[in-house]
């Protein structure tokens, strides 16, 4: 038996799914039955795709008039997610949709109702939530290995150039679309969304839930000429105790891949992808590994959460085929807490502009002088914010 797969969006990140579906080693369990993309020319493997399943459809309704699919894999801009998930469910497909769940938190309950009515699953493709490393860590947190959450902090510094904000069809860096749909495209809701979500996800009380929050505060700013923000400091108070700190920016001159330091009453968990700048307090970090240390002296190496990002597709396919490895790890409920946090900050926090005399151009990249150093200081606990750098 093979899972019949519909790819919705084959450009950008959708290319990961294209490559995996076309991989000969997966031909025993995956069958591509259709592609939906109004602008398919951006996919370098378009000819191979059309040889397998015919010409692309411009929209999902057109596909479902002619064919069916066991699994719809959605890799489209944020503001299309909710309606496309509901369309797939209406026509009897299970869903794997890229993060985030949706732009507007008003869509969360209708999505749950649509899933329930269809009797299908909806998985949201946060990579880390489908990794073996995070799965093992979360199970240990649930089991009480580290006690209760106290303070979880994350830093992501990813320079992005003007070309990044010109990607797609005019939705990048936007708050809403021309027809009023919420997009909220930002460093916290797109490129680095995984790492804000992860703090809520690993503290959830079951494997397919995230921890809710009781309060959220945010400092949001932009250096680029965009509608939304490119830099953020987001603080959440977790339901039941503990707090999170998320620091991320595209408007900086140095690259620091995701790092985190999670403090619990009974231990600490750290991660860094690469050797870190000397300015970051990085005691006990092991590059490429999530490392847990309990107060009774036990050390646990969970490995690298970036290994095998395609695993989420295989989990969804296994679920279609009825295999035990296809259990839900990150569905609507688990993904919805991130969406609620994003909506809260977008509706309540002002977006400030960085002081013009601090803005520098380095080729295609716009950066703010001193911002990277300040954000690192916030992560280290040596500074509170960057309020003196904005107007």
Say which CATH number the domain at 384 has: 3.30.360.10
Considering the domain architecture, whether residues 229 and 147 belong to the same structural domain is answered as: yes
Answer yes or no: is pLDDT of 283 > 90: no
CB 254 within 8 A of CB 372: yes
Q: What is the pLDDT of residue 188?
A: 98
* Total domains, the chain: 2
Mean predicted confidence (pLDDT) in 35-57: 96
| pLDDT-derived band at 167, boundaries 50, 70, 90 | confident
Mean predicted confidence (pLDDT) in 4-9: 98
| pLDDT-derived band at 170, boundaries 50, 70, 90 | confident
- How far is it, in rounded angstroms, from Cα 186 to Cα 103? 11
- How far is it, in rounded angstroms, from Cα 326 to Cα 318? 5
Both structure tokens of 248: 């991320």
Mean predicted confidence (pLDDT) in 35-60: 96
Mean predicted confidence (pLDDT) in 355-375: 96
Considering the domain architecture, whether residues 297 and 379 belong to the same structural domain is answered as: yes
Answer yes or no: is pLDDT of 168 > 90: no
| pLDDT-derived band at 121, boundaries 50, 70, 90 | very high
Q: What is the pLDDT of residue 284?
A: 84
Q: Which residues contact 283 (CB under 8 A, 6 or more apart)?
A: none
User: Percentage of residues in the chain with pLDDT exceeding 70?
Assistant: 100
| pLDDT-derived band at 169, boundaries 50, 70, 90 | confident
What is the rounded average pLDDT for all residues in the chain? Answer: 97
Q: What is the pLDDT of residue 219?
A: 98
Considering the domain architecture, whether residues 225 and 176 belong to the same structural domain is answered as: yes
Chain segment 319-330, per-residue pLDDT in tens = 999 999 999 999
Considering the domain architecture, whether residues 94 and 174 belong to the same structural domain is answered as: no
Q: Which of 298, 331, 364 is the last residue of a domain?
A: 331
| pLDDT-derived band at 391, boundaries 50, 70, 90 | very high
Considering the domain architecture, whether residues 133 and 154 belong to the same structural domain is answered as: yes
Considering the domain architecture, whether residues 274 and 262 belong to the same structural domain is answered as: yes
Structural domain containing residue 323: 3-128+311-331
- How far is it, in rounded angstroms, from Cα 134 to Cα 260? 13
Phi then psi dihedrals of residue 207, to 5 deg: -65, -30
| pLDDT-derived band at 377, boundaries 50, 70, 90 | very high
Q: Which of 282, 298, 331 is the last residue of a domain?
A: 331
Rounded to two decimals, the pTM is 0.97
How distant, in Å, are the alpha carbons of 101, 361, 379 from that of 264? 28, 41, 17
Considering the domain architecture, whether residues 135 and 255 belong to the same structural domain is answered as: yes
Say which CATH number the domain at 106 has: 3.40.50.720
Considering the domain architecture, whether residues 295 and 326 belong to the same structural domain is answered as: no
Phi then psi dihedrals of residue 359, to 5 deg: -85, 130
Considering the domain architecture, whether residues 71 and 179 belong to the same structural domain is answered as: no
Considering the domain architecture, whether residues 117 and 191 belong to the same structural domain is answered as: no
Considering the domain architecture, whether residues 221 and 366 belong to the same structural domain is answered as: yes
Considering the domain architecture, whether residues 73 and 114 belong to the same structural domain is answered as: yes
Mean predicted confidence (pLDDT) in 275-283: 89
Chain segment 48-73, per-residue pLDDT in tens = 999 999 999 999 999 999 999 999 99
How distant, in Å, are the alpha carbons of 84, 160, 252, 285 from that of 255? 34, 10, 8, 17
| pLDDT-derived band at 30, boundaries 50, 70, 90 | very high
């Amino acid at each position: 038996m093979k899972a019949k797969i519909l790819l919705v969006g084959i450009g950008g990140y959708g290319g990961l799914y294209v490559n995996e579906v076309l991989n000969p080693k997966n031909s025993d369990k995956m069958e591509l039955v259709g592609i939906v993309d109004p602008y398919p020319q951006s996919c370098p493997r378009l000819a191979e795709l059309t040889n397998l399943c015919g010409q692309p459809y411009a929209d999902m309704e057109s596909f479902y008039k002619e064919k069916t699919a066991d699994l719809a894999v959605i890799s489209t801009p944020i503001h299309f997610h909710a309606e496309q998930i509901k369309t797939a469910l209406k026509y009897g497909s299970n869903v794997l949709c890229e993060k985030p769940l949706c732009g507007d938190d008003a869509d969360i309950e209708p999505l749950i109702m649509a899933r329930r009515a269809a009797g299908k699953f909806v998985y949201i493709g946060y990579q880390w939530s489908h990794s073996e490393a995070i799965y093992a860590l979360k199970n240990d947190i649930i089991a009480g290995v580290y006690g209760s959450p106290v303070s979880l902090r994350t830093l992501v510094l990813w320079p992005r150039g003007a070309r990044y904000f010109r990607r797609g069809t005019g939705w990048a860096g936007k708050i809403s679309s021309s027809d009023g749909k919420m997009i909220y495209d930002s460093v916290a809701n797109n490129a680095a969304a995984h790492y804000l979500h992860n703090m809520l996800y690993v503290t959830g009380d079951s494997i397919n839930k995230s921890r809710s929050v009781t309060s959220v505060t945010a400092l949001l700013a932009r250096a680029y000429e965009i509608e939304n923000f490119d830099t953020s400091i987001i603080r959440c108070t977790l339901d039941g105790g503990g707090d999170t700190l998320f620091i991320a920016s595209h408007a900086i001159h140095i690259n620091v891949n995701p790092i985190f330091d999670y403090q619990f009453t009974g231990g600490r968990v750290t991660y860094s992808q690469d050797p870190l700048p000397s300015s970051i307090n990085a005691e006990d970090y092991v590059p490429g590994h999530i490392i847990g240390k309990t107060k009774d002296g036990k050390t646990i190496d969970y490995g690298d959460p970036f290994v095998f990002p395609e695993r989420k597709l295989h989990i969804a396919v296994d679920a279609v085929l009825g295999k035990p490895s296809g259990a839900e790890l990150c569905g609507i409920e688990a993904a919805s807490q991130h969406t609620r946090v994003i909506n809260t900050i977008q509706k309540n926090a002002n977006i400030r502009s960085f002081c013009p005399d601090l803005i520098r151009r380095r080729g295609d990249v716009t950066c703010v002088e001193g911002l990277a150093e300040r954000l690192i200081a916030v992560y280290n606990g040596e500074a509170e914010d960057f309020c003196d750098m904005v107007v």
